[in-house]
Structure 1
Amino acid sequence: MRIARPRAAKAIVAALAIGMVATACASDRDESDSSGDSEVFVFGAAGDPAALDPSLASDGESFRVTRAAFETLLEHEPGGTELVPGLAREWSSNEEGTEWTFQLQEGVTFHDGAELTGEVVCQNFDRWYNWSGTYQNTTLSYYWQGVFGGFAENESENVPEPNYVGCEAPDELTATITVERPSANYPGGFSLQAFAIHSPDAIEAYAEDDASGSGENITFPAYSQEGGTVAGTGPFRITEWNKGNGEVTLERFDEYWGETKAGVDTLVFRTIPEESARRQELQAGDIHGYDLVAPADVRTLEDEGFQVPVRGVFNILYLGITQERQPALEDLQVRQAIAHALDRQNIVDTQLPEGGVQATQFIPDTVAGYSEDVQTYEYDPELAQSLLAEAGAEDLTLEFCYPTEVTRPYMPAPVDIYELLRADLEAVGVTVEPKPLTWNPDYQETTRSGGCDVYLLGWTGDFNDAYNFLGTWFDGYSQEWGFENEEIFDLLAEVSAEPDVATREAMYEEANVAIMDFLPGVPISSSPPSIAFSADVNPPTTSPLTQENFAEVSFK
């Protein structure tokens, strides 16, 4: 028999949990500093970073770590999406949007003692532009190719033409970056963690290592897989990566130039793949916070005295379809059948936190350019079966990829979501062959190289422009989607080059209509991800972009 616990008892449990957290803090202090003055904040991450060099990464778990140590030319306001100064105190462009000039902050020092100058900024951008060999694989240069195109010498026909032209430093604290064509990716792209600025001495040291491999078998350069080798300008410096224990350790950088100094001496990101395990470790006082709280756990944690702030909605979960994997997927009727087979509202109702919504297109309704006029695909199993029959695909078999050992802001329970969608597809006669893959690096590499018939993925916006969503996926051919549609490609090229924001937003609405008519995949949902902290913590300002600044963290 289950005994109901009265509210007073809950308060006692909460107090005990808080006390355990405080005890853990004291224990950490004792271990790290015999004087008892050092403060250690431990955060439970959902997955390992791919690399400690953000230039090589494309996932939120990597960026959460590197953002504490590396800074970009532009940043976002705390808790919002408006661009504000970062390493650049001012920025401007020419009328055509092809020259971007950045006036840099004074007195910025890297972790290794080097100083920030315009020449250093140019050295960083020229490093990325001159990547060769394995670095031209999208596993390592995903954001560079998405924002600046290809390289000085492209080595594959799959690499886009370069848009980056060059960088000049007319004086010590100025850098001017020139691109061939204007793009809706600018200036927002200059806020991407992938383009954080590295020390010139570190860049020289990086050159001693090299990446290797191809396709789904990429080996990251050794320097990016160990602490103490990378050097940025952030409030923390990365000192250790203990992969065996899944922990990255960062220490406060006392020479940090900015106003928000690190509020704790040591910041530890501990990988705990299962959400239930992260919750239990928070309740036990072994960690001080964790991300991607399961919807069912929010009320429980709040009742126990923990802080559970909710971010704004700025993401999309979708079922991707790789059309060139098999001829049936190139048939619009088959893709429509898949869309009608999926009970997406059931995903919202059972798997997402309060505030989650069913998606109708590939951007959330919080982004300008959202259209009310797109073709929608309601849950209709009978129609799905009819469409499959008309297309001659009653015996359709789909290899369905889904990630394991991870949770994402748009996908709090990947395995559970997969199981629900699998059941929907099987209910209309589709044979599903499951293909589970670990998130980092297997899943990302496999989906991007077109290794799945259908797969679960999503996107949290990097900056507030619809092109960051639509252009990321559909501005040209990619192995991930495996289709050619010149109408959509040309439309997105046209909207990207449009300098007027209001005109561009109207064009995004038109693009959304065209994309949903073509139906390259099935948008499933948008959700407001929660993040949890112990009661004795002053938490960072939550960000709809999931770009929390952990320098804001301190103990009460």
Structure 2
Amino acid sequence: MSRAPSASRRAPSTRRRVVAAGVALVATTSLAAACAQSQREAGGGAGGTLTFGAAGAPDLFDPFYASDGETFRITRQIMEGLVGFKPGSADVEPALAESWEHTPDGKTWTFKLRQGVKFHDDTDFNGDAVCKNFQRMFNQTGAGQNNALSYYWIGSFGGFADGKTPSLYQSCETPDAATAVLHLTRATSKFPDLLALPSFSMQSPTAMDRYQANNVQAQGDSFVYPEYAKAHPTGTGPFKFGSYEESNGTIKLVRNDQYWGTKAKLNELIFRIIPDETVRKQELESGAIDGYDLPNAADLKALRDAGNNVQVRDPFNIMYLGITQKNNPALRNLKVRQALAYAVDRETLVKANLPEGAEVATQFYPNTVDGYAQDVQQYPHDPAKARQLLAEAGASNLTVNFYWPTEVTRPYMPDPQGIYNALAEDLRDAGITVNPVSKPWNGGYIDDVDNARADIFLLGWTGDFNSPDNFIGIFFGTPTNRFYTAASPWGEELAAQLRAADGEPDETKRNQMYQDINRKLLSEYLPAVPLSHSPPAIVTSSKVHGLQPSPLNAEEFASVSVSGQ
């Protein structure tokens, strides 16, 4: 599919248009039924419930403090940003902002806001609410500044109001209720697209104040979240938060009947947390759920033959073998990191462990993203070369703690244990001692990885929008990242190169800069080993209609209906 930037960013939204026409009362049953059917087709609400099998549990429901897809799958239904994505694409379209414009230097952005929009608690959405949201993000203190919490803010905007680290964000003003003006410290290639990220959704200032949204506390290696993040997330979207029963892993959303646009067709949207993919498949077959994400590639034919809707998304992701340089001094040696790259057999991994259509990755984003370089250094499977490099580095007895996640399936990583087993065997064949460390995805794994406690680890990324900065800028844009490139003499150099490329207004020059960075990433830096791009699937029963698959794994369920209910 096309990844080109949208040429119609100021076009009026057709996805969430307001239904203006009323339905007159009539005497005949047939005419009333026809009107009811017309209303359903217009998004007026067909009723019923859809139950979807989620692969993992969300850690919280405040998207600002989140970085995982399972949280965003929930909050995407109940919150909206100033801009959104066109269904089925990575292109930006209006959402809570009807239009926008910027000054020639790219530093001042004026958004014209939709009027008459309310948050779920009846608070008005207006320019003041926009500025309060950005002030809340920018003024984080204490635990709120931890990279494991404010991951997207740090990766996209940088620092906070205390000025310890430069920030892309400068200020927000609201000339009137229908206007919000964002002032940036520099131009960036990713604006306003990054505002479509779930982390920057607009949330009710009233609810955030009432339930102390910023009162997050560090507790050992994890965090304690406030009442807002656990039970009172409040947005403007087509669904409202209902409840979360942790005992049975069930999250319930209900239709927002006061939604400003086309109302959801479902009365209820339920997510059941089912970490085991085989169990998700069995639950679909029994009718206990109506769909689930990331079916096993080996099951796709059988699922289709049984009459289910199997939709395969375009691959817009990367899986990589991360290398943390903070704790193991040997990993700060480029030859050792190159040895890891030569040790892993990516061709066999893709053929044996990933779905049909998966590809070996040579860079940290797909070739559909700008700045992709065709001439990067290659690392074919070569255990002998790996042993040679380890010997040259004085690390022939290298031992690594290899982290891999449990209780999760990711779009780029459909079988974490199988992928870990394959890669660990490759490393052992190259003479590397592997100590396995497995933890639940939201039970310590992400915290450990984000805080650079792993030596090597499995992780990846599904692109949020079509920008090199959204991949390699997020990964390596700060030296104190999960790879802890601050331990290398080139860590700040790489971060500076990424900032310069992102701020370059000339598109041709910017693409050349990103190509140069990609070459250096593979030849001079190698903070991780790119492994694969994988096309994830989503499956629903034959009763489910209207689900639009997204290359960003950013499906919205407002358009979905279930027949027979």
Counterpart residue number, 1:7: none
Contact 2:47 2:265 in 1 (8 A): no
- Pick from 189, 195, 207: which aligns with 1:184? 189
Q: Which moved more, 1:180-189 or 1:47-56?
A: 180-189
Give, as a single letter, the amino acid of the residue that structure 2 aligns with 1:55.
F
Instruction: Spell out structure 1 runs of 4+ moving beyond 6 A.
Output: none
Counterpart residue number, 2:205: 200
Contact 1:215 1:445 in 2 (8 A): no
* Structure 2 CA distance for partners of 1:501 and 1:209, relative to 1, 3 Å: closer
The alignment partner of 1:138 has SS state of coil
Counterpart residue number, 1:15: none
- Pick from 75, 97, 106: which aligns with 2:84? 75
Alignment of 1:467-482 (within 5 A): 467-482=469-484
- CA–CA distance in structure 1, aligned partners of residues 75 and 96 of structure 2: 15
Give, as a single letter, the amino acid of the residue that structure 1 aligns with 2:150.
S
Contact 2:343 2:427 in 1 (8 A): yes
Q: Cα distance, 1:386 vs. partner?
A: 1.4
Counterpart residue number, 1:238: 241
Contact 2:213 2:229 in 1 (8 A): no
- CA–CA distance in structure 2, aligned partners of residues 491 and 223 of structure 1: 38
* Post-superposition CA distance 1:330-389 (Å, at most 9, x none): 111111111001011112111211110000011111212111110010001111111112
Contact 2:212 2:227 in 1 (8 A): no
Counterpart residue number, 1:507: 513
Contact 2:119 2:235 in 1 (8 A): yes
- CA–CA distance in structure 2, aligned partners of residues 417 and 41 of structure 1: 32
- CA–CA distance in structure 2, aligned partners of residues 338 and 539 of structure 1: 45
Counterpart residue number, 2:425: 423
Counterpart residue number, 1:248: 251
Q: Cα distance, 1:206 vs. partner?
A: 3.0
1:107 and 2:112 are equivalent in the alignment: no
Counterpart residue number, 2:73: 64
- CA–CA distance in structure 2, aligned partners of residues 554 and 116 of structure 1: 28
- CA–CA distance in structure 2, aligned partners of residues 455 and 48 of structure 1: 21
- CA–CA distance in structure 2, aligned partners of residues 179 and 360 of structure 1: 34
Give, as a single letter, the amino acid of the residue that structure 2 aligns with 1:450.
A
CA RMSD of aligned residues (A): 1.4
1:164 and 2:166 are equivalent in the alignment: no
* Structure 2 CA distance for partners of 1:507 and 1:208, relative to 1, 3 Å: closer
The alignment partner of 2:77 has SS state of coil
Give, as a single letter, the amino acid of the residue that structure 2 aligns with 1:551.
A
- Pick from 502, 526, 529: which aligns with 1:519? 526
Q: Cα distance, 1:168 vs. partner?
A: 0.3
The alignment partner of 2:100 has SS state of strand
Q: Cα distance, 1:453 vs. partner?
A: 0.5
Give, as a single letter, the amino acid of the residue that structure 1 aligns with 2:319.
L
Counterpart residue number, 2:129: 120
Q: Cα distance, 1:161 vs. partner?
A: 2.4
Contact 2:450 2:482 in 1 (8 A): yes
Give, as a single letter, the amino acid of the residue that structure 1 aligns with 2:234.
A
Contact 1:321 1:481 in 2 (8 A): yes
Contact 2:370 2:511 in 1 (8 A): yes
- CA–CA distance in structure 2, aligned partners of residues 222 and 208 of structure 1: 7
Contact 1:533 1:539 in 2 (8 A): no
Give, as a single letter, the amino acid of the residue that structure 2 aligns with 1:185.
K
Q: Cα distance, 1:532 vs. partner?
A: 0.3
Give, as a single letter, the amino acid of the residue that structure 2 aligns with 1:366.
T
1:555 and 2:559 are equivalent in the alignment: no
- CA–CA distance in structure 1, aligned partners of residues 118 and 500 of structure 2: 41
- CA–CA distance in structure 1, aligned partners of residues 388 and 546 of structure 2: 52
Contact 1:400 1:454 in 2 (8 A): yes
Contact 1:149 1:163 in 2 (8 A): yes
Counterpart residue number, 2:100: 91
- CA–CA distance in structure 2, aligned partners of residues 396 and 419 of structure 1: 18
Q: Cα distance, 1:479 vs. partner?
A: 4.2
Give, as a single letter, the amino acid of the residue that structure 2 aligns with 1:162.
S
Counterpart residue number, 1:221: 226
Normalising by structure 1, report the TM-score.
0.90
Counterpart residue number, 1:50: 59
Counterpart residue number, 2:272: 270
Contact 2:155 2:478 in 1 (8 A): no
The alignment partner of 1:323 has SS state of coil
- CA–CA distance in structure 2, aligned partners of residues 487 and 134 of structure 1: 27
Q: Cα distance, 1:416 vs. partner?
A: 0.6
Unaligned 5+ segments in structure 1 are: 1-36
Counterpart residue number, 2:49: 40
- CA–CA distance in structure 1, aligned partners of residues 75 and 229 of structure 2: 11
Contact 1:99 1:176 in 2 (8 A): yes
* Post-superposition CA distance 1:262-312 (Å, at most 9, x none): 111000011100111111111110000100111101111011111100001
Contact 2:448 2:454 in 1 (8 A): yes
Q: Cα distance, 1:208 vs. partner?
A: 7.0
Contact 2:90 2:466 in 1 (8 A): yes
Give, as a single letter, the amino acid of the residue that structure 2 aligns with 1:501.
E
1:493 and 2:499 are equivalent in the alignment: yes
Counterpart residue number, 1:542: 549
Counterpart residue number, 1:18: none
Give, as a single letter, the amino acid of the residue that structure 2 aligns with 1:303.
D
Give, as a single letter, the amino acid of the residue that structure 2 aligns with 1:375.
Q
Contact 1:463 1:545 in 2 (8 A): yes
The alignment partner of 2:517 has SS state of helix
Contact 2:81 2:201 in 1 (8 A): yes
Contact 2:49 2:562 in 1 (8 A): no
Counterpart residue number, 1:34: none
Identity %: 45
Q: Cα distance, 1:215 vs. partner?
A: 6.2
- CA–CA distance in structure 2, aligned partners of residues 165 and 463 of structure 1: 23
Q: Cα distance, 1:323 vs. partner?
A: 1.5
Contact 2:207 2:228 in 1 (8 A): no
Q: Which moved more, 1:471-480 or 1:265-274?
A: 471-480
Q: Which moved more, 1:45-54 or 1:496-505?
A: 496-505
Unaligned 5+ segments in structure 2 are: 1-45
Give, as a single letter, the amino acid of the residue that structure 1 aligns with 2:316.
F
